[in-house]
Amino acid sequence: MDCRGAPRPIDRPAHASNSVGVPTAPDQNTPRQTAPRGVPPGHPPGPQPTLQPGNLPIVYQSARFVVIDKPSGLLSVPGRSADKSDCVRARVQAMFPDATGPMTVHRLDLETSGLIVLALDPEAQRALSIQFEKRRVQKHYRAILGADLPNDEGVVRLPIARDWPNRPRQKVCFETGRPAETRYRVLTRFGDRTRVEFTPVTGRSHQLRIHAAHQQGLNAPILGDALYGNPSTAPRLLLHATYLRLRDPDTDTPIEIESEAPF
């Protein structure tokens, strides 16, 4: 099936607007945590992690879930083969041996670094997963793109489908793809490179990478992207999950968590 479809240009507004990716000012009463400080003041400490080699940095910890700063090159969940058993979930399970349930709330690509949430009991996993599924979690990413973008902000809307013959790649497909939307904002420009903030509205696999690289998107691959760009442009994929705003599954209190991009 031909999945190229008719050209669908992205929206590229010339001026700032809340409707095109400028985040609403955060609630000043919202607890904010920045990596890697651990348990925020005023919150009861959760179960203490077992210290061992391979521990991951804990950015936020409560009695029922933790937020980890995932390094690039580490799987979120185990792969199918035995040599792919090392992952965030396995390491957090080792750090919290009393944790139960599936633990995984959402995932980051192998090459992407940054904030990832894991639950410590089944009920917390369900409650947090629903927040992600219902798009109640606000997420920001930082990336460096291999081009000087013509606009300061905008929205990319390109549907994404699995590219079965070329797994694990995904592709833009107007016939079978699922709707995908990414807001972007330029942070800095340096030569033919642009540092941007991405705010995904949907959460499709490889969404930010495809929307950055595709010619009907930004036409500017993320540096170091081995699937959709040129891996020789950086020592790793320059994409980092920097910000999460979610609600505590017990108190419904909004929580903001941040992690500095390492590039």
pLDDT in tens, 156-203: 999 999 999 999 999 999 999 999 999 999 999 999 999 999 999 999
Query: Does 79 map to a domain?
Result: yes
Average pLDDT score over residue span 234-255: 97
131 in any annotated domain: yes
SS3 209: helix
| Per-residue model confidence (pLDDT) at position 41 | 41
Residues 160 and 210 in one domain: yes
Domain boundary among 114, 137, 160: 137
User: Residue 98 falls within a domain, yes or no?
Assistant: yes
Q: What's the average model confidence in pLDDT over 40-46? A: 48
Shared domain check, 191 and 117: no
Q: For residue 118, list its beta bridge partners.
A: 66, 104
Q: Mean pLDDT over all residues of the chain?
A: 86
- Domain check: are 127 and 148 in the same one? no
The model's pLDDT over 46-89, given as tens digits with 9 standing for 90+, comes to 676 665 567 999 999 999 999 999 999 999 999 888 888 999 99
What pLDDT score does 194 carry? 98
| Residue 17 resides in a domain | no
Q: Are residues 127 and 147 in the same domain?
A: no
Instruction: Give the mean model confidence (pLDDT) for residues 33-55.
Output: 55
pLDDT, position 17: 34
Global pTM value: 0.83
d(CA 261, CA 263): 6
State the average pLDDT over residues 245-251: 96
Percent above pLDDT 70 for the chain: 80
Beta-strand ranges (E) seen in the chain are 32-34, 58-61, 65-70, 113-119, 138-145, 153-157, 160-162, 170-172, 181-190, 193-200, 239-247, 254-258
- Give the 3-state secondary structure of 33-95: EECCCCCCCCCCCCCCCCCCCCCCCEEEECCCEEEEEECCCCECCCCCCHHHCCEHHHHHHHH
Q: Which residue range(s) make up the domain with 65?
A: 32-137
Task: Kindly state whether residues 207 and 113 are assigned to the same domain.
Answer: no
- Residue 259 belongs to a domain: no
Rounded distance between C-alpha atoms, residue 202 and residue 180, angstroms: 5
Shared domain for 98 and 157, answered yes or no, is: no
Indicate the pLDDT class of residue 30, thresholds 50, 70 and 90. Answer: low
**Amino acid 29: pLDDT:** 53
Give domain status of residue 13, yes or no: no
Catalytic site positions: 109
Q: What is the pLDDT of residues 89-105, one digit of tens each?
A: 999 999 999 999 999 99
Give yes or no: residues 37 and 115 share one domain: yes
Q: 105 and 70 share a domain?
A: yes
Q: Return the pLDDT at 50.
A: 62
Asked if residue 229 and residue 161 are part of one domain, the reply reads yes
Considering the domain boundaries, does residue 112 fall inside one? yes
- Asked if residue 128 and residue 221 are part of one domain, the reply reads no
Q: What is the pLDDT of residues 123-140, one digit of tens each?
A: 999 999 999 999 999 999
What CATH number did the domain enclosing 90 receive?
Answer: 3.30.2350.10
* CA 252 centroid distance within chain: 22
Q: What's the total number of domains in the chain?
A: 2
Check whether 231 has a pLDDT greater than 90: yes
Look at residue 195 and tell me if it is in a domain. Answer: yes
Cα-flanking dihedrals φ and ψ of residue 19, to 5°?
Answer: -80, -5
In this structure, the answer to whether residues 103 and 170 fall within a common structural domain is no
Half-sphere exposure of 94 (CA within 13 A, CB side): 13
Residues 127 and 154 grouped into a single domain:
no
Choose one of 77, 112, 137: the last residue of a domain: 137
